[in-house]
Structure 1
């Protein structure tokens, strides 16, 4: 995408946002302006079950409320006396896992452990329709539901007595990176974000530059929802204002610092997605870091320890200092 097109679509998004604010247009539920106008009160976090502890932290199955739905997650809390202002905290958003196969305590164990050991409350949320969470698993890219769950998780952490409400960041992998980015452009109080192998391309990227392999990576109904969107709203070329309005890249003016990680051998999500977001962040004058890893797959398996050390250091910089 050229600089001319990028700033052109940004201008379209700004004009569209102005019209929405003045009541001249009805915001689509997927648009950033509609999400910014929404309410995400979260709820008290309920400790549902105590699990075996980690090395220096406690583990729980916990729940919160999102649009009236009971959403579960894995919650860790550091051992020791609570700091006067509370512990720094991280909303942890997982990548795509078939909802019927998802289990709260399975997968991402090493990721959560590394962040929890570093002295953070970590809340790995399940999203609606996953595991025991109520609601229907609607997918991330053509519905606002998962973004709303993420925003309500952030609000719930702010209400959690052990957490410092002013020092909360977000971590996302793959699909979770898409949700983390959208949550950050909607909610500027999210202090910092770290995204691994994120689906953080523009909607033009998602539509035309994403060949996912194997086909099992596609959530049920994703292609149909994509085609319904195109049939109803037209292509980005024929209806650029609409597609600009739902693309987070055009609303980076309030976003906090973001650190991006991507493997150069990733066959699931193109590294160009992270590189493109870095270009947008640089153009918007927002702080960011981009790390790429030669020979690394979608999970950064070959450089996991290095990528995690960098992630913890980035969170420390903005949440502990």
Structure 2
């Protein structure tokens, strides 16, 4: 083989290697975009407010509407990112009522009907509600248009908690947290960080985002090599390490505080094994596995039971008025 031909072949090999690495990098970026990209502004849900939103499967919806609300802003704890939220004060004596912060999941926002519904359930039983837009979602500040799998968003939950304590004047032992999906992971991390958080409710929360990623890899084993490349892109380019500060590790720091977890056994996105992993890590938690429910659908599939359990849990642990009985619904079990 002549020297010139050998040089040409080596250059072609080099070009092919570079091209393959570029292609791999583009695929890794694309995979990370699918996994973590958000849609700030929540344009498809802006028509919904606490005063008017749909409740599938329910003929009577008026008791869950909240016409007297205000949109408030405050900073995330320690970051300065401006956050937006709906604040719905209790109808009777808001200063004396407990409060619950409601937190959405990925690609949702404070306008999402399934986020407004638990606020409505609690509000009609005398609670203040604060429905939060996490960073890079809804009307809150845009950091990078990627979520960080709750590893940063928990600071937004703490910003909401700080606002209720320092601006509204609600005592810490009368403030609870509610979170769906990634919001559930965020409220666990927030409570682990802030020892004064009084009580936590999660629905479809993940224990460890790596379990979700590994499940995706198992469904497409030929693309397993994308996992480390995609996570490296997130870590070094976006600046988010999705694998730090895992809820399944943080939950032990709740230190016997009340945690109630709801999870559907037909959840295709965050399998029920996440709930069992959290329960194993924190045996003090209560777990309600709902039969046949998909991701964040338990509240619709078990409407009456969900309301009863939700209200009773926070009435019990947020030091509700002594003369107000724990909510019970006739015929509910």
Bucket of the pairwise TM-score, normalised by the shorter protein: 0.5 to 0.7
Structure 2 CA distance for partners of 1:204 and 1:138, relative to 1, 3 Å? closer
Unaligned runs of 5+ in 2: 1-48, 53-63, 220-226, 321-333
Is 1:62 aligned to residue 72 of structure 2?
Answer: yes
TM-score (norm 2): 0.64
Contact 1:56 1:78 in 2 (8 A): no
Tell me the CA shift for residue 112 of structure 1.
Answer: 1.5
Tell me the equivalent position of 1:303.
302
Describe the superposition over 1:186-217 as per-residue Cα deviations: whole angstroms up to 9, x where unpaired. 11111110001112x2355244246799xxxx
Contact 2:88 2:128 in 1 (8 A): yes
Tell me the equivalent position of 1:39.
none
Inter-partner Cα distance in structure 1 for 2:176 and 2:132: 14
Tell me the CA shift for residue 320 of structure 1.
Answer: 2.5
Matches within 5 A, 1:147-226: 147-161=154-168, 163-199=170-206, 201-202=207-208, 204-209=210-215, 225-226=230-231
Paired residues, number: 243
Is 1:271 aligned to residue 281 of structure 2?
Answer: no
Tell me the CA shift for residue 261 of structure 1.
Answer: 0.6
TM-score (norm 1): 0.66
Describe the superposition over 1:228-265 as per-residue Cα deviations: whole angstroms up to 9, x where unpaired. 46899xxxxxxxxx96x622333413442100111111
Is 1:112 aligned to residue 119 of structure 2?
Answer: yes
Tell me the CA shift for residue 58 of structure 1.
Answer: 2.7
Task: Pick the structure with more strand per residue.
Answer: 1
Structure 2 CA distance for partners of 1:145 and 1:254, relative to 1, 3 Å? closer
Describe the superposition over 1:140-198 as per-residue Cα deviations: whole angstroms up to 9, x where unpaired. 32x74312111111111111335233311100011111101111111111111000111
Contact 1:51 1:61 in 2 (8 A): no
Contact 2:71 2:84 in 1 (8 A): yes
Structure 1 outlier segments of 4+, above 4 Å: 50-57, 210-213, 222-225, 229-232
Contact 2:103 2:131 in 1 (8 A): yes
Describe the superposition over 1:114-160 as per-residue Cα deviations: whole angstroms up to 9, x where unpaired. 1111211111110122222222233132x743121111111111113
SS at structure 2 position matched to 1:145: coil
Residue number among 138, 153, 162 corresponding to 2:146 in the alignment: 138
Tell me the equivalent position of 1:281.
282
Is 1:94 aligned to residue 104 of structure 2?
Answer: yes
Unaligned runs of 5+ in 1: 1-49, 214-221, 233-241
Tell me the CA shift for residue 268 of structure 1.
Answer: 1.8
